[in-house]
A and B are shown apart, each in its own frame.
Chain A
Amino acid sequence: MVDSGTVLWGQAIAYTIYVIGAMTVVGWFAYRVTRAKEGGGVPPALFWAFFVILIVSGVALHIVSYNTIPWSPIDTHRAGMEADKTFAISVADHEFQLDGPLEIDCNDLVRFEVTSDDLTYGFGLFREDESMLFQMQVVPGHMNDVLWEFTKNGTYSIRSTEYSGPRGYQMVVEDAVRVTGCTAEA
């Protein structure tokens, strides 16, 4: 399974290429617009071609993303999917209620069901190098669940990913999740 770290690398490369391209176009335009006129104005056909490119780009991003990012279809269809393991976690008074580290076997499809007794919090799993594996919001009065397939060994911390007042930044549980049995390391 493609890792979230790999997806972020791909995004960083694609966006960097786009940024360089956009800066080059605007820089070129700024230079050329001050030079003497060569040729006429902008043909309307170019405008409509650009219009089509914008629509295709906007739609293509989500189609490509849905078909290449493995957790997207899992997330959309999670209500009808059976998990190998389910962990019920509650949050109250700026604390995650956990009974020791959550042990997960390689390739397990795990459901995290998180509820809040008071404020809106976040629930995110982070690798030891602080990079994010995934996150979701934890809204009081609602069931907040995420389904995730673990394909790499590792120890993950849990951190609240939503601001819940000045006490919220302390909501970190180190070494909260442990995945074993895989050949690859996170």
Chain B
Amino acid sequence: MTFTQTLLDGNKKSFRPNTLTPMQKLTLRFVIVGLVFYGFAAIEGMIMRLYQIEPFSLLGAKQYFGILTAHPLVGIFGSTYLLVFGAFLFLVPFLMKKPLWSFRLANWTLWLIGGGTLVFWLDGFISHYAPLYTLYWPLPADFDQFHPLSGAIFIAGIALIMVGTLFFVLNVFKTITYTPAGAERQPARALLASALGFTGMANLFRRKERRKAHLVDLPVAAIARGSVDTALNALVITFTGVLILVYMVAELFGTSLKDTAIDALLYKNWFWWGLDLIADGMVLIFVAGTWYLLAMLITGKPLFMQNIARAALLVELVVSWTVWSHHLMSDQAQPEFLKIISGEAVTAFELVTQGLAFFIVLATLWSARPLKMTNELKFLLGGMLGFALAVPAGIIQADLGLNRILHNTQWVIGPHVHVAILVGLTMTLYSAVYKLLPILTNGAKLYSQKLASFHFWAHLVGGVGMGAFMGMAGLKGMLRRTIYFDGEFLPYMILAAVSGALLLAAFAAFLFNIVMTVGLKGALGIFKRSDLDPKVLVPEG
């Protein structure tokens, strides 16, 4: 086949979109939209990397901070949420061996999150609404710096995402517990108890012969528990959004509400409690669940210490509800006991829960050696390395003494956040994409293994490198969320930008490889309606 033929029809014409079920197409649509938003976030990140080397006149400070506000939200909601939700809406019915509860609701999830992301991104781009994702009170309602209408549109975009998120959570739990038409009645309560971990917890207090069997697989339990945090987080963000919206609407109607009516420290506690349900709950639980699933799929063996893994997921859920205060260790009015108990002690427990997940996955892989170093295995190991580097970096900054000299420096956002998200989370997601690609495309053949290998190495070196150079700048005093005009940290920022360029090149190679695998016609075919039964997950035979 010529290059043009492959570009149009895909590698060896092995991808035929007309054979896909509606569920396969829907999942692939989640992946495509999620990857497009990943591209947005990567390009935005690169623009900011260049701006950190030398602020250029094309981009004013307002536009820069507008990008800084949109960048993490596009990355988390537009990209990660869609990739993760799409995969889980396919995997939960796949593992539960029954159709998704509502195909229509899953469609709504895709377009609400995709549409909402586009709304706040465009609003930030045009109006430069830039209170950052932290929204520290009363900044989002500071109408000397921002127009209330631009803020209201921004919040409306986020609200659409939260509605889509709640639809996802509802769909997950209903799929676990419902009885499909014509099937034997399924025990909804027992399924829910097993998914949330109550059965496992009760088993600890039962005699061996009276212990109840787990009704749902471990990865489904992980998805269910992560979804609890996802729902709580969506409620917190929605409540916060409504609160801010009240101020904006009042301002638009000519009434300035008193912003001192809301205590800034209480608000900060509330906000971080909610946000950490994602950062320290949902992400870690979903990631551990995905590692477990990938390890079982790669080895074809049961998980090492499966009961401990279940218990660790439950502990992680509880930890995620009590860990928020590590974001307030530099807030001197924050009670000291919260800093020590929630900020230091509970946070340190994440080293234990994530460390155990790391060990369990390695032990499972080890038991099945020799393994072939496939794309999914190498990306899985890359993702695990990412969290092995990023979690201790977070534990270090969640220390009373060290936080005094690390808070809001590039250390926090480099070795901790970017290594966790770009290396840990994203490489885990890539592992899932490479593993699920043949299942979702009915056996499409990957165009180039060399490109996949380049994708792996460029992403790993770029991600770790960027985090490392940002971290070095942070230790030298470079703050995040500010602009330096005199080249104060120039060598580090140049090296971080080179690493960022490597990440962008890795993504370009991956995207090209996927386009050449499915072809442009195939990619368009994914968005055409499937005539097959939406209740069928993959074609039979």
Interface residue ranges, A against B (CB under 8 Å)? 4, 7-8, 11-12, 15, 18-19, 22-23, 26, 29-30, 32-37, 41-42, 44, 47, 50-51, 54-55, 57-59, 61-62, 65-66, 69, 71-72, 75-76, 118-120, 122, 124, 126-127, 129-137, 139-146, 159, 161-169
Contacts and interface: CB of A to CB of B under 8 A. Distances in A.
B19 to A, nearest CB: 34
A54 B370 CA distance: 28
Contacts of A120: 136-137, 139, 264, 268
B401 A12 contact: no
Contacts of A134: 404-405
Contact of B304 (A41, A159, A166): A41
A137 B331 contact: yes
Contact of A139 (B265, B371, B392, B483): B265
The 7 residue pairs across chains A and B that have the minimum distance between CB atoms = A58-B348, A69-B401, A72-B401, A142-B333, A163-B481, A131-B477, A42-B363
A26 B388 contact: yes
B138 A118 contact: yes
A101 B396 CA distance: 34
Interface in B149-186: none
A167 B360 CA distance: 48
Interface residues of B, number: 83
A30 B355 contact: no
B400 interface: yes
Interface in B481-528: 481-483, 488-489
A71 B483 CA distance: 29
B407 A61 contact: no
A77 to B, nearest CB: 9
B299 to A, nearest CB: 10
Given A130-B477, A142-B264, A54 B363 contact: no
Given A44-B305, A140-B260, A130 B369 contact: no
B476 interface: yes
B378 interface: yes
B334 to A, nearest CB: 9
A163 B130 CA distance: 10
Contacts of A165: 65, 130-131, 139, 142, 145-146
Contact of B365 (A33, A36, A119, A122): A33
B243 to A, nearest CB: 16
Contacts of B378: 30
A42 B399 CA distance: 33
Helix, strand, loop or mixed for chain B's interface? helix
B373 A34 contact: yes
Helix, strand, loop or mixed for chain A's interface? mixed
A65 B370 contact: no
B50 interface: no
B128 A50 contact: no
Contacts of A137: 328, 330-332, 407
A50 B356 CA distance: 8
B366 interface: yes
A148 B181 CA distance: 69
A127 B304 CA distance: 51
5 contacts: A34-B369, A61-B348, A118-B142, A142-B265, A169-B61
**Residue from the set A23, A120, A163, A167 with the largest chain B CB neighbour count within 10 Å:** A163
A67 B487 CA distance: 37
B263 interface: yes
Contact of B370 (A7, A35, A126, A132): A35
A55 B367 contact: no
Contacts of B481: 162-163, 168
B139 A164 contact: yes
A69 to B, nearest CB: 3
A8 to B, nearest CB: 5
B234 interface: no
B336 interface: yes
B478 interface: yes
A20 to B, nearest CB: 11
Given A23-B385, A130-B488, A169-B61, 16 more contacts: A4-B405, A22-B385, A33-B366, A34-B373, A47-B363, A51-B352, A62-B345, A71-B401, A75-B401, A75-B404, A130-B477, A136-B332, A137-B330, A144-B333, A166-B128, A166-B130
